A and B are shown apart, each in its own frame.
Chain A
Amino acid sequence: MELLLVLVLGLLYAAGVYLILRRSLVKLLLGIMLLGNGTNVLIFLLGKITKGSPPVIDESYKVFQDIYADPIPQALILTAIVISFALTSFAIVLLKRVYALVNSDDLDDLNTPEEEDL
């Protein structure tokens, strides 16, 4: 199964990179989100995935009795998901703003001022 996840993360990264090479602001944002997902899978994979044993201690015990999934990647990913939400939501609103001002989501329309210097 790990090999499948390896494939998934590669594809997520590839799609993310492909999207940030486009001209559209929306695609840029989607690309960043995909890169974030890819990174989450990567972190998750590095913690040795385990099936059916979440890192939660049994009701009647004080310590683990059995093997359990590595809690550290999970804590890291949880933080990453929340922070990326902050980024995405701010970016979405910003995008709307840009659209309201220049009436376009084409990145090339945003970099006019420097052209005159050349």
Chain B
Amino acid sequence: MLFTVLAGLITSSLLIPFGKLIKTKWSILLPFIPVVLFLFYVMHVPSIAEGTNFVQRVNWVPSLGVNLDFRLDGLSLLFALLITGVGTAIFFYGRTYLKGHIYFDRFFGYLLLFMSAMLGVVLADNILTLFIFWELTSISSFFLIGFNNDDKSSRDSALTALSITGLGGFFLLAGLILAGNIAGTFVISELFMKHEVLTIHPLYPLIIGLLFIGAFTKSAQFPFHFWLPGAMKAPTPVSAYLHSATMVKAGIYLLARFTPILGGTDLWSISLMVVGGFTMIFAAVHALFRIDLKGILAYSTISALGVLTFLLGLGTPAAIIAASVFILVHALYKATLFMVTGIIDHETHTRDISVLSGLRKVLPPVFVAALLAALSSAGLPLTFGFIGKDLIYEATLHFNENWTIWLTLLAVLTNVGLVAAGFMAGIKPFAGKLPSAFSNIHLPYPSLWIPPLVLAIFGLAFGLVPGIIGNYFNHQTANAIAGIETDMHLKIWHGFNLVLILSMATLLAGTLLYVVNKPSSSKLQMLARFDGLSPQAIFRRLARGLKDFALFFTRRFHNGYLRAYHLKIILFAELLLAYKLWLSGPISIDFDSLTPLSWYEVVIVAILIGALYIIVSAKSRLASVVSTSVIGYCMCLMFVFYSAPDLAMTQFTIDTLTTVLFVLVLYKLPGFINFTSKTVLMRDALVALGFGAILSLIALRVLFEPNTTEISNFYGENAYLLAKGKNVVNVILVDFRVADTLFETVVLSIAALGVYSLIRLRLKSSEKE
């Protein structure tokens, strides 16, 4: 299994050196990758159908719990077959669709990357691995939506899609880690055992909330649905593959995968039913107003995803069976319709259904494919869609007594919309008279129309033998979602009952709606008036608000004045230190332990304070510099009093040198100019005094804390014994810590070099301002 996941990644990196060859001679090799993978998974169908699961574990980062664990069960297999099967069709189709495109190799690189990532998502048995692949699908989708990178709207859509799905990814990661930590394992198959622990945990609502945001953003549920219509900017093979059949179903997969782990509670069911139910009806209505073929398909895809979410929310075995079948039904007909749209776009250069008509005469096999797909989507008896629709009604009718009518009504209304939308996309362009503009169109290469035709025929064939298909593909899927053995018997004929009546009524009403509903650009414009209220507009406003806030913040806090930065840093430090000081409790002063005070110390301190006052208030530069040196000498004297002769000597030398240098260099500078207002001066004085006071208090606090003197004692006792020196300070510097002193010398030398070269540097007159 690891190999199947890595195959796409390896091939896509091989496209870097061999891209040129793939573009021309070897492009026929590309579709064989999904073909091989598809066959690999088809081989597993019989054993999976008997209930076996395959597990493969490869250690990756065991210390973090991130391992390449893969597990193939019914649910994974259904998705893996969809990914590789639809992938096969798309690869054959895309090879012709993009023939001669300048980025042909790049396109397939992204597509292969996506295929790998998607297989990784559905096979992963470790939630962190799942997350990594999940993000990879978002990234490859970003590149594919923005594939026409010279088109601004295409780039914008790619960014919107990435920001929505990426944002959802963050929430998902948080939810997954939370769940993993509470359960104590990141392995999905072990999490099945922790259902009890997780659902009664107080953080359970948060976990599923985060998980839902991840799933809803990916699967385009309201209010995050708007990135999907935008994603239709991608080349049509991408829309068919990522944005209808596979990637957008990753959210559904996630919900299905976690149903046995986190599902089964009222909170889970009701949230999914509300969001899914609203999304499905909302998008179905929206689809009816579109005139762009891809727009219709995008909204009907959102609606179908809503149906799936809704079914998972119902959560009864009947609903789960319906969901597992509907995933397959929808992938088959929707991918077909997208590919048909691609052919129409390719041949007529328009996707406007108010212009397109009569194409059945020039593109007969394409028409057959579109018709079959449209009928399957409408749920005509003998198609696979009929089975799917029956199961949905079955599920809503057998839910909770009180809710049956409303839920069924909702499902019927949605399906009526979907029937009409399917006909609009699959039949409308082919019906009616052929305009003269389109009369010289001829059928494209077979490799373009065979893949959709094959998928459409599958949709019909599966509907003829639903029992076998259900047994092989959907039974174990439903078991994996429900976590129990489900009772699945798919049949064409259930007898004459309420479900059949509803099914027929839906078909009739949908057809009627299709005939009556005439979408036009004027109606679309009417709808556009409400755009201000749409989640997309709100999202855009939020994004703009964030940008404005960032600008405001930057202007306020990053204004380019050094003193403003100093002020903020110091204020922040004051707050932090004051808080810590306050936490540490009252300071008690032990007067007995203090050294006695003598008059000469008081005199020195008085001089020092006087010098400080002069520095702070001086108008003349020289006075400040001299006062600084006075402070230095006062320090020097204090070192003399307190048994630090070395310090006194050093301070004396250094202070003298500094003053001399200062005066030599700065004697010709003008006096200080005072620009600042009194209030600013007062504010700065307060901040400064506050800082001084806090530091003093800290010093006081530390002064009366016991401190250890082991290191000092070690140096004191061993200065002569080990290092043969009697001045301990000197011994520390030149013996015990000699490396430090060496580097200090290096620093001094560098500074000296800098000083020397700056003094020697003569400016050319042109460089002076």
Contact = CB atoms under 8 A, between A and B. Distances in A.
Interface of A: 1-24, 26-28, 30, 33-34, 37-38, 40-42, 44-59, 62-64, 68-72, 74-75, 77-79, 81-83, 85-90, 92-97, 99-103, 105-108, 111, 114-115, 118
Given A71-B728, A78-B647, A79-B744, A85 B654 contact: yes
Contact of A96 (B560, B596, B624, B666): B666
A9 B696 CA distance: 7
Contacts of A92: 658, 661-662, 665-666
A34 B645 contact: no
A89 B753 CA distance: 11
B560 A2 contact: no
Interface residues of B, number: 100
B695 A55 contact: no
B677 to A, nearest CB: 12
B527 interface: no
B729 A71 contact: yes
B732 interface: yes
A74 B741 CA distance: 14
Nearest to B613: A15
A115 B728 CA distance: 54
Interface stretch (B56-64, B234-242, B332-340, B714-722): B714-722
Contacts of B740: 79
Contacts of B654: 81-82, 85
B747 A50 contact: no
Given A11-B612, A55-B727, 15 more contacts: A2-B595, A3-B589, A17-B688, A21-B684, A46-B707, A50-B642, A57-B727, A57-B728, A64-B717, A71-B712, A71-B715, A81-B651, A89-B755, A93-B755, A101-B763
A32 B201 CA distance: 55
Given A55-B729, A93-B755, A13 B691 contact: yes
B751 A90 contact: yes
Contacts of B566: 17, 20-21
Contacts of B755: 89-90, 93
Nearest to A71: B728
B605 A7 contact: yes
Interface in B567-585: 567, 570
Contacts of B687: 17-18, 21
B615 interface: yes
Contact of A77 (B589, B647, B684, B720): B647
B676 interface: yes
A37 B611 CA distance: 13
Given A37-B635, A78-B647, A8 B605 contact: yes
Interface in B745-769: 747-748, 750-752, 754-755, 758-759, 761, 763, 767-769
Interface of B: 555, 560-563, 566-567, 570, 589, 594-598, 601-602, 605, 608-609, 612, 615-616, 621, 624-625, 628, 631-632, 635, 638-639, 641-647, 650-651, 654, 657-658, 661-662, 665-666, 669, 672-673, 675-676, 684-685, 687-689, 691-693, 695-696, 699-700, 702-703, 707, 709, 711-712, 715-717, 719-721, 726-729, 732-733, 737, 740-741, 744, 747-748, 750-752, 754-755, 758-759, 761, 763, 767-769
Most buried by B among A7, A51, A86: A86
B82 to A, nearest CB: 51
Most buried by A among B657, B658, B688: B688
Contacts of A89: 657-658, 661, 751-752, 755
Contacts of B555: 118
Nearest to B570: A17
Q: What does DSSP make chain B's interface, helix, strand, loop or mixed?
A: helix
A9 B609 CA distance: 11
Contacts of A111: 560-562
Contact of A68 (B625, B711, B716): B716
A118 B675 CA distance: 24
B721 A15 contact: no
A107 B562 contact: yes
Given A9-B699, A15-B615, A24-B672, A103 B666 contact: no
Most buried by B among A21, A38, A64, A72: A21
Nearest to A47: B712
A71 B758 CA distance: 37
19 contacts: A1-B597, A4-B601, A4-B605, A5-B638, A13-B691, A15-B615, A22-B563, A42-B695, A53-B643, A57-B727, A58-B726, A62-B721, A69-B644, A72-B732, A74-B646, A75-B732, A79-B744, A87-B751, A111-B562
- Top 8 A-B residue pairs of the complex, sorted by shortest distance between their CB atoms: A14-B692, A10-B696, A86-B751, A18-B688, A69-B643, A10-B692, A55-B728, A17-B688
Nearest to B608: A8
Given A10-B696, A17-B687, A21-B688, A100 B768 contact: yes
A54 B601 CA distance: 18
Contact of A95 (B601, B631, B665, B703): B665
A82 B699 contact: no
A82 B716 contact: no
Given A21-B684, A50-B643, A15 B703 contact: no
Most buried by B among A10, A52, A114: A10
B754 A75 contact: no
Given A71-B716, A75-B737, A45 B711 contact: no
Contact of A23 (B632, B676, B711, B717): B676
Most buried by A among B615, B692, B751: B692
Contacts of A49: 595, 642-643
Contact of B744 (A10, A11, A38, A83): A83
A93 B651 contact: no
Contacts of A9: 692, 695-696, 699
A92 B566 CA distance: 20
A96 B700 CA distance: 40
Contacts of B717: 63-64
A55 B714 CA distance: 13
B176 to A, nearest CB: 41
B699 A1 contact: no
Contact of A11 (B595, B609, B676, B747): B609
Nearest to A49: B642
Contacts of A1: 594-598, 601
Nearest to A103: B769
Contacts of B602: 4
B262 to A, nearest CB: 50
A78 to B, nearest CB: 6
A83 to B, nearest CB: 6
A81 to B, nearest CB: 5
A67 to B, nearest CB: 10
A43 to B, nearest CB: 10
Given A30-B628, A89-B751, A7 B643 contact: no
Contacts of B699: 5-6, 9-10, 42, 45-46
B206 to A, nearest CB: 42
Contacts of B645: 54, 56
Contacts of B729: 55, 71, 74-75, 78
A115 B559 CA distance: 9
Nearest to B749: A86
B673 to A, nearest CB: 8
Most buried by B among A5, A15, A42, A100: A15
B297 to A, nearest CB: 45
Contacts of A75: 729, 732-733, 737
A45 B601 CA distance: 15
